[in-house]
Structure 1
């Protein structure tokens, strides 16, 4: 499982953005994106991929997009 955790503090509102790649029980890979105000439940979106390469490429694309929006990488877990 690969997880990127990013945070952003703007206008005194702390926010988080998380991207996670995981293997599921059906032999597919899923990418979970979760975002919202820090300290509260946020929104999430789950996308399935048939192979690990496509899942990692999508996760990296979403991570870069979040960084362009001002999020800073707080931690990465492998």
Structure 2
């Protein structure tokens, strides 16, 4: 599992991208965004291989960075 957490400090907003596997041999990229302490939005996308899932997660991380989010934590388990 790989989790990337990004924050936009001026607006107290966060963007989280997580890559994980499931019992069926698929990989899920879960994106979550919102403001600290409030309800957030969430999307899940399934991929058949890890390479495509990681590439998609990196693409969404780059898009968030272009919108002013900075990487605050990266966890790999």
Q: Report the TM-score range of the alignment, normalised by the length of the smaller protein.
A: over 0.9
Name the SS for the 1:62 alignment partner: helix
Q: How does the TM-score come out when normalised to structure 2? A: 0.94
Q: CA deviation at 1:39?
A: 2.0
Structure 1 moving runs of 4+ over 3 Å: none
Q: Structure 1 CA distance, aligned partners of 2:33 and 2:39?
A: 8
5+ unaligned residues in a row in structure 1: which ranges?
none
Give 1 or 2: higher helix fraction.
Answer: 2
5+ unaligned residues in a row in structure 2: which ranges?
none
> What is the match of residue 27 of structure 1?
25
Q: How does the TM-score come out when normalised to structure 1? A: 0.93
